[in-house]
Structure formats: C-alpha cells, structure tokens
Amino acid sequence: MNAPVSNPSVQNQQAENQPPSGTGWKAQLQLGYRFRQDKTRLVERLQRGPLAVQRSLYPEGSPCHTYILHPPGGVVGGDQLDIRVRTHSGSHALLTTPGATKYYRSDEKMAYQQQTLTVEKDSILEWFPQENICFPGAHAQIHSDIYLEQGSRFIGWELQCLGRPAIQEAFTHGSIDARTRVYIDGEITLIDRMSTQGNGLINSAAGLRGYAMNATLIAGVIDADSLELVRSILETFDPQLPVGATWVDNLLVVRMLGNNTEDIQKVLIPVWKALRQHWLKIPACSPRIWAT
C-alpha cells in the first residue's frame, strides 16, 4: 500500500491542515510496525521534538503495546504535534498514552495536533489515547485521519473534555475544533466533528446537553452483526446513560457523553473487550498503564 500522501486529493487535504509557522514546540512522531520473528515489532521510528515512545511491551505475546509520551506535559498555543502510525500487513499494535493530554489557555494562539493512522490489509491497530482536556481559554485544532484497507481491523477512541468538570471549571471561553475522518480504500466514509466557541456547544440541546465530555469509539472494517453485540452490552448499563451505537458503511460507531473519564471508560472498555473477543478472536489484554 502506498502512503496516503500519494493520493493527490489527500495531499491537498493535508496541505490545508498545515499550521502556520510560529513559536512553540514542533514535534513529530512517526511509527511503523511489521510482523517479524513471531511478533510485531516497531521497526520504523522517527522522533522530532518532545514526542517519544517507551520501549515496546509484549504482555500478551505477539501484539506490540506502545506508550506515546509528550514530556512537556501539556500543549499551548503555537505548539504543533504530528503523530503518524502505520501497521503493515500481518502486524498488530496497540497504542495508548500514560495520561491525559492537556491544552492550556493560549491567548487566542492556536495549538495543532494532527494524527494520521494507516492500517494495511491483514493488520490490526488499536488506538486508545487518554482524554484531551481543554482548559478554559484554550484554542486547539485536534484532527485525526484514519486510512483503512479492506481486510484491515481498527478499534480506537477519541475522548474530548471541555473544561475541568472535576473542579467545576467550565469551558467558558476558547475554541476547539476536533475532527476525525475515516477512509476505506481511499474513499472517505465518516467525518465526525466537534467544534465550539466557548460554552455554546456544551449548553446546546443539539450539542453536549450540559455534559463536559464527548467520546467516540470507532471500529472497522467490520460487519453489521457487531452492532447487535455492542447494543446488547450497552443494554446492561443504566438506560438513562447518553450512549448509543450505529453501523454504517462497514464502520461501527459508539458515541457517549459524560462528565468524567472513569464513567466513560466503564462503558467503552467492555465494548472494546467484547469486540476484541468476537471480532479479533483475541482475549482482551488491557495496557498495564491503565491500572496505575
């Protein structure tokens, strides 16, 4: 499979996403996984700036677990983070982060994070970063582009938190543009976007309905029978929970609102475990960092 940038339309889209030059951290992390000698190995790694990874972990045999690190601990206006991950055919990687990514107040200077995930045929990528916490006054563009081939398998989530609900600090001002696009064989299949200026989206009945957090889990390329499995799991929780699942164009999408990460993960982690067992035919193995 050629890299996504070989597609001229994708080249144009990526050019549109390029942030303007300015002060702040400029960090890039590029990771490539291949199956070699009975396990998936991180064989391609490019690091620039403060983005880094810990050594590869193998708590369940051949799948490779990787923790992405951002040592500065937070993102401010002018920072530009670029993360690119590719799983080559036959490989299986699970990536997460040890903690939340925090976007701090930035006096209207924009922070940029671009994530590009490419999953080749007969490979598996599990993508589970901890939540993005957007402090009041933060200005951030958080974009994810996911490229899937038919025969690939991807499960991942994005968790966005506006303000700091744990201390009753609302997102009263600032601007956040969080967007996820999914492509299957080069064709765009899903666009999921959350864009807000201040607290307008939080208080809107058509938006977050008073909740501070928005979570989206995506799985693909997957058959429609997965939808009934996931809905049966969701039915075991409080029926008043603002959570739902849909399937369209070989993608399963679970959306949930909440006010803290723990409550959201109590729902999404069982969904992931069930999908892993049913679809991937692999028992769930939570990253060790989740238990700390």
pTM above 0.95, yes or no: no
- Reduced 3-state DSSP string for the chain: CCCHHHCHHHHHHHHHHCCCCCCCCEEEEEEEEEEECCEEEEEEEEEECCCEECCCECCCCCCEEEEEECCCCCECCCCEEEEEEEECCCCEEEEECCCCEEECCCCCCCEEEEEEEEECCCCEEEEECCCEEECCCCEEEEEEEEEECCCCEEEEEEEEEECEHHHCECCCCCEEEEEEEEEECCEEEEEEEEEEECCHHHHCCCCCCCCCEEEEEEEECCCCHHHHHHHHHHCCCCCCCCEEEEEECCEEEEEEEECCHHHHHHHHHHHHHHHHHHHHCCCCCCCHHHHC
Structure confidence by residue, pLDDT tens digits, 56-87: 999 999 999 999 998 787 999 999 999 999 99
Say how many domains are in the chain: 1
Give residue 107's domain range.
4-291
Structure confidence by residue, pLDDT tens digits, 85-113: 999 999 999 999 999 999 999 887 999 99
Per-residue pLDDT of the chain (292 residues; tens, 9 = 90+): 444 433 333 333 443 444 555 578 899 999 999 999 999 999 999 999 999 999 999 999 999 999 999 878 799 999 999 999 999 999 999 999 999 999 999 887 999 999 999 999 999 999 999 999 999 999 999 999 999 999 999 999 999 999 999 999 999 999 999 999 999 999 999 999 998 888 777 777 777 888 999 999 999 999 999 999 999 999 999 989 999 999 999 999 999 999 999 999 999 999 999 999 999 999 999 999 998 8
